[in-house]
Structure 1
Amino acid sequence: MTRLGFDPLLPWPFVAALVALALLAAGLAWWRGLRGWPWRGLAGLAAAAALAGPTLETGVRRGLSDIVLLVEDQSASQSLPGRAEQARAAADAFAERLTARPGTELRRITVGDDPDGTRLGEAITRALAAEPEARVAGTIVVTDGQLHDAPSLPATAPAPVHVLLTGQPSDWDRRLVVEEAPAFGLIGQPVTIRLRVEDQGAVPDEVQGRAVTLRVSIDGAREEVVAIPPGMPLDIPVTPEHPGQNVVAVSIDPPEGEPPQLTDLNDRAAIQIEGVRDRLRVLLVSGEPHPGSRVWRNILKSDTNVDLVHFTILRPPDKMDGVPVDELALIAFPTEALFEERIEDFDLIIFDRYSVRGILPSAYFDNIRRYVENGGALLVSSGSEAASVESLHLSPLGAILPGRPTGLFLDAPFLPQLTGEGRRHPVTAALPGAPDPERTDAPHWGRWLRMGDVIPEPDAEVLMTGDEGRPLLIASRVGEGRVALLTSDQVWLWARGFEGGGPQAELLRRVAHWSMKEPDLEEESLQVQLSGNLGLIVTRRTMEDAVGPVTITQADGATAELTLEPAGEGRFTGRWQAPGPGLYRLAEGELSRVVAVGPSAPREFEQTVATGARLEPLAQATNGTVLPLSEGVPDLRTVSVERQAHGEGIQRPWIAITPREAEAVDGLAIRPLLPPWAWLLLVVGLALVAWLVEAGRVGRRRVRA
């Protein structure tokens, strides 16, 4: 291919000025009547053309093949009945036809599963960007139309985009939609979950509009059955019963109709609600003042999530100092409201060196005992009063305390030690700085200076010991509640750093939170932690020396067993890989746990009925079309650019690609239109002709005398 080009010797403005000057000179000569004005103008234009540097460009061009993109959707939704076969047959048919066409290259792009759904828009955009725009002759997309990145779709394409939809016209599906679900909820306070049942596609007449059976359960407990009409939202109140994760499993019964729905994977959902306490309400009852009272108060007041009510006795009744009562009393303490009317509002009651001196009636102690038996928490820190007739053990509370005093109180320094049970129990396990019984020279806690002697109850657990192995910290369960007993009032020595101190804040925090049934401090618990890629880390806490295997029940009823290995005192762990997302129930002995692994209803199955609504704008913008494969694989044709690329044939529809006829330049030769000496001769010759014409030597006849 040869074409004319320019390589000017001077900038184009100078060349333009020369052209204007030549035309001006020719016009002036014409105005003055000079007969050589045309030649003058041609000479100036020839000089300007010489300065413009005209060239002849001769190139060697090669035709390029057309490129057709074949995008195959192989996401999870394509695994629904019949779709994979449809997609494979259509893709193979077009691949065979395009490969057989001369001058056509095929690019097959596969779109698989992604945690964010089907990334079809991103795949199409990348495939178009990877190819030269001038060579793309068409794009064929085989999919069910369910993509989750519609904003990533290009607005247009250089060639027709055709969408071939899998599925059947009779496809339909029913799914459970969670419209609203809280992430957190107060323990004991109901929260609302809003659900809706949605029908999609060609719903059979025997199913259309009929009520659906909805089943709801919390942490695998007894199911509640509710009827819900399709399309109508339903608010369901659920109550978190414990701190930590509360798993609400909801499901609908499969509909009975022909043809059956596409899938039941979207007929269930798992909602995880984190149970939190509103504010921990703690009642601290202090007896005679001592240094440990400030330790308790500082620990409780430092936690902004604790509402503390402190009832302290500063002047016992037996103190006869002659001070008038009206000079001492400021306001009357509401003991009746606290110990009778509002006692159930407290999460924890603490008695710190309290002596029974008749200030609180015996009926109040009965109320506290019933409060504990009904699920409350009690913590007693005793001193020398425990060995006297004023001990709490001689009150109605003595029936629930985990130890009986012997009447002996020891004033001798001792080093607190962990028992075998204490090394397993979550309250005292792995306390920082715990003494090592096998190493006497190792760093350890500071000593305490006195303690009482008690006899633990048979069902109580001794977690720490003091002088000569006497019980120092005892924990027990009473009815639905819990009681902890500390037989010394010397924990404040750790707070002061005596002989190095100790973890008094951590110890008291654990005791208090264990009393209030925090899941992380349960001595018999089954804990599950999610790891990456659908993995489960199962931890079993126990006071026993061995545990059995954990039975894992999957959503389809299949079971698997996981053997746990020792991982420290009182802990056994194991790892298990879930075969897929869903709801799993884990059980070991009497303990069970329900956990949601990944989304219970994968995003791929939120919308299952095939549709071309999201891809149709792109197809229309490129003169393409959206066709269902249920009518058969369409024929393939070729049309020119800007022509409609689809239509109805005699037997079946057809789609078309547009040949691009792109070319590549393999070589290019450039040579001047005339050599410099030829331009010089041309300019001089034209100027000479102009002079001869004007001098009368050319164009006139000679007259003979």
Structure 2
Amino acid sequence: MTGTLIFDPLLPWPLIAVLAVALIIGIGLALWRGLSGWPLRALAGLVILAALSGPAYQVEDRAPLNDIVLLLEDQSASQNLADRASTTTQAADELAARLAARQNTEVRRIAIPDGADNAGTQAMTALSEALAEEPRGRIAGAILLSDGRIHDVDRAPDLPAPLHLLHTGRSTDWDRRLTIKNAPAFAILGEEVTLTLTVTDDGAAPEGVETVPLDISIDGEEPQRFDVPLGRDIELPLTLPHGGRNVLQFTTPEAPGELTDRNNTALVQINGVRDRLSVLLVSGEPHAGGRTWRNLLKSDSSVDLVHFTILRPPAKQDGVPVRELSLIAFPTRELFLEKIDDFDLIIFDRYKRRGILPSLYLDNVRNYVEEGGAVLIAAGPDFASADSLYRTPIESIVPARPTARVLEERFRPSVTDLGQRHPVTSGLEREFDGDWGRWMRQIEVEQTSGDIVMSGQDDRPLLVLDRVEEGRVALLASDHAWLWNRGYEGGGPQLELLRRLAHWMMKEPELEEEALWAEATGQQMRIIRRSLSDTVGPVTITTPSGDVIERELSEVQPGRFETLFDGPEIGLYRLENGDQSAVIGLGPAAPVEFEQTIASAGPLQPILDRTSGGAKALADGLPRIRDVRPGRPAAGRGWIGLTPRDAFETLSVTQAPLLPAWVVLALIAALTLGGWLREGRR
């Protein structure tokens, strides 16, 4: 129990002050007039002022409260290296026992797991949450058992007591790590990009090592090994081998004695994109659809178009001066012999044999396709004639044979059952709301190879796609696609169809009809299989640790099968389904927990200094625990300090006046009467 003197004035303090001033003036007048009873009168006035201030004696019944010590245990991934986990647990148990044995002390043990989404060790966040649940007036200190690699130092709370770090590192620890700088998300095919790679040794690394081996693998293939200098930035020029996602894995083998190999690997995923598409458009004659082809291709800023329209055959004699026949000469030799490989796509729009392109040139077009080029034939009535482009050396690569019939009847193009599964035509109905407009003419052809993805009149082949060795060929058996562009009978999805068609012929990965890939979101991946088949088997997943898992795929739309898979670990996963394979990196190859693995108090040192705390190595043994006054250094050689808070809980409060009221009144009366008698006797 404790007692204190308190004041509960009967009048406001300013009024009491005014009365005190009046009392002083009265005493002064008494002295000036020489009244002999002024001391007694002054005492009476003071008693009155004291009574008005309401003095009372307050007694509190208090119960002391225990001090609280926060004991934080780092259980993140980096704490599983070497013997750190067992050292931390053992030290935490012993510290908890020592603190519990202290008088008036309670311990709060707080586990710190890995942060979500590769956030690292969130020790300061855990400390802030613990402080929010406890009265600040009872916190005597906080002790953190960790390697010191904290990733939320900027969230450190305002601590009312010392913070100490007991780190789990040893003086002999060392680690080798590999880092990649300035890795782009996209790169242009055919152009060189430069990555900066660094292999460094941290801690007590072996001396005399100047070079280390480095393995480089692309898309999970057999790696190539190189020797690279240690501790220096290495500029690595790279040209992507294909479009779409390219997964590059860089690995330096684990060295004997290093803490971990989790940071010896770096995964880089770069999407390969084409800078510009080079297209050669050859129009056999002027017609309504020729301008549509040109406008569609020119509207795409990523397309470089070379367009020639044959206005007049060379054998025609009509007396027109030669200088008026064309603006420029048709450079057939340059285009079809010397620079044909520079084009990504060649389009023949209603072209027929007219003696302009010799058979040698067209034979070169066939070779161009077989070696990886692409040809699109937009057929008109000329394709069914004796001068048809089909009756040239490219006959062997055309997927359909003309019957010589031209069907001059209205029909509405439609997507075939196979076309519903093919990425070029899949979902075209959803791309264009409403019925498609009709076309007026179709060339009758008979399929000889490839896939019929669109049909026309009486289900005859309208759009046929085929692969020819390394290249691709498409045949559109009508020259009335331009009606859609003009909005005839509502139009149709011409722009989307031709865009997909051109990109399929350019071998863009997202339009491959047989493909397997995955899309990652955190630790979960969506595995996608596209196929022209009605069913596909299970996908085989190989984890970074070598475990093999099979998952069934469900058809979510025609030709598209999917499944979700939660990756059990971070790293490179290999996917296989039939003859299709893919790789994907799930999460960073080296999580943030393993970017820096050597234990250090560096990140926490400003906070330790601010709270007068200290850092000790558990390898040197547990420090002793002392009490220190607030503001004093709380760490020294072999010891750490806690600040006793002397907190208490008030159970009850009682108040009693210093003197009863009747005693005060009697005292005032006695002093006043004494002063009057003194003056009267005189």
Taking structure 1 as the reference length, the TM-score comes to 0.88
Which residue is equivalent to 2:73? 72
1:84 aligned onto 2:69: no
Match of 2:655 among 670, 694, 700: 670
Cα deviation, residue 90, structure 1:
0.7
Residue segments in structure 2 that go unaligned for 5+ positions in a row: none
Q: Aligned equivalents of 2:377 and 2:538: distance in 1? A: 38
Match of 1:275 among 257, 272, 278: 272
**Structure 1 pair 553/32, CA: closer, same or farther in 2 (3 Å)?**
same
Asked if the contact 1:240–1:246 (Cα under 8 Å) also holds between the matched residues in 2, the reply is: yes
Which residue is equivalent to 1:439? none
SS in 1 for 2:565: strand
Q: Aligned equivalents of 2:316 and 2:30: distance in 1? A: 138
Cα deviation, residue 316, structure 1:
5.1
1:373 aligned onto 2:363: no
Q: Aligned equivalents of 1:497 and 1:179: distance in 2? A: 51
- 1:511 is aligned with what amino acid? L
Match of 1:447 among 410, 418, 438: 438
**Structure 1 pair 683/245, CA: closer, same or farther in 2 (3 Å)?**
farther
**Structure 1 pair 49/478, CA: closer, same or farther in 2 (3 Å)?**
same
Match of 2:543 among 554, 559, 563: 554
SS in 2 for 1:88: helix
Match of 2:565 among 576, 601, 605: 576
Q: Aligned equivalents of 1:265 and 1:144: distance in 2? A: 17
- Taking only the aligned residue pairs, the percentage that are identical comes to 51
Q: Aligned equivalents of 2:650 and 2:430: distance in 1? A: 80
Alignment of 1:537-616 (within 5 A): 537-616=526-605
Q: Aligned equivalents of 2:315 and 2:589: distance in 1? A: 67
Q: Aligned equivalents of 2:335 and 2:20: distance in 1? A: 109
Asked if the contact 1:351–1:379 (Cα under 8 Å) also holds between the matched residues in 2, the reply is: yes
Cα deviation, residue 500, structure 1:
5.0
1:510-560 CA distances to partner (integer Å, 9 max, x unpaired)?
Answer: 21111011111111111212245x222222222334434333222233323
Cα deviation, residue 686, structure 1:
4.0
Q: Aligned equivalents of 1:686 and 1:311: distance in 2? A: 128
Which residue is equivalent to 2:96? 95
Which has the larger displacement, 679-688 or 236-245? 679-688
Q: Aligned equivalents of 2:121 and 2:486: distance in 1? A: 62
Cα deviation, residue 32, structure 1:
4.5
Which residue is equivalent to 2:50? 49
1:198-244 CA distances to partner (integer Å, 9 max, x unpaired)?
Answer: 21111134xx4331111112222343322212210111122223332
Residue segments in structure 1 that go unaligned for 5+ positions in a row: 436-442, 701-705
Which residue is equivalent to 1:457? 448
**How many pairs does the alignment contain?**
678
- 2:271 is aligned with what amino acid? E
SS in 1 for 2:19: helix
Asked if the contact 1:82–1:167 (Cα under 8 Å) also holds between the matched residues in 2, the reply is: no
**Structure 1 pair 339/58, CA: closer, same or farther in 2 (3 Å)?**
same
**Structure 1 pair 481/32, CA: closer, same or farther in 2 (3 Å)?**
farther
Taking structure 2 as the reference length, the TM-score comes to 0.91
Cα deviation, residue 629, structure 1:
1.4
Alignment RMSD, CA only? 2.9
Which residue is equivalent to 1:440? none
Cα deviation, residue 308, structure 1:
3.4
1:508 aligned onto 2:493: no
Q: Aligned equivalents of 1:318 and 1:41: distance in 2? A: 141
SS in 2 for 1:614: helix
- 2:213 is aligned with what amino acid? T
Which residue is equivalent to 1:177? 179
Match of 1:478 among 468, 471, 488: 468
**Structure 1 pair 688/559, CA: closer, same or farther in 2 (3 Å)?**
same
Which residue is equivalent to 1:226? 226
Alignment of 1:614-653 (within 5 A): 614-648=603-637, 653=638
Which has the larger displacement, 217-226 or 113-122? 217-226
- 1:210 is aligned with what amino acid? E
Asked if the contact 1:154–1:618 (Cα under 8 Å) also holds between the matched residues in 2, the reply is: no
1:612-631 CA distances to partner (integer Å, 9 max, x unpaired)?
Answer: 22223333443432111122
Cα deviation, residue 432, structure 1:
0.8
Q: Aligned equivalents of 2:364 and 2:98: distance in 1? A: 87
Q: Aligned equivalents of 1:266 and 1:465: distance in 2? A: 56
Q: Aligned equivalents of 2:45 and 2:639: distance in 1? A: 62
Which residue is equivalent to 2:157? 154
Cα deviation, residue 149, structure 1:
0.7
Cα deviation, residue 363, structure 1:
5.4
Which residue is equivalent to 1:406? 403
- 1:136 is aligned with what amino acid? I
**Structure 1 pair 664/515, CA: closer, same or farther in 2 (3 Å)?**
same
- 2:307 is aligned with what amino acid? H
1:204 aligned onto 2:206: yes
SS in 1 for 2:453: strand
- 1:223 is aligned with what amino acid? P
**Structure 1 pair 309/6, CA: closer, same or farther in 2 (3 Å)?**
farther
SS in 1 for 2:646: coil
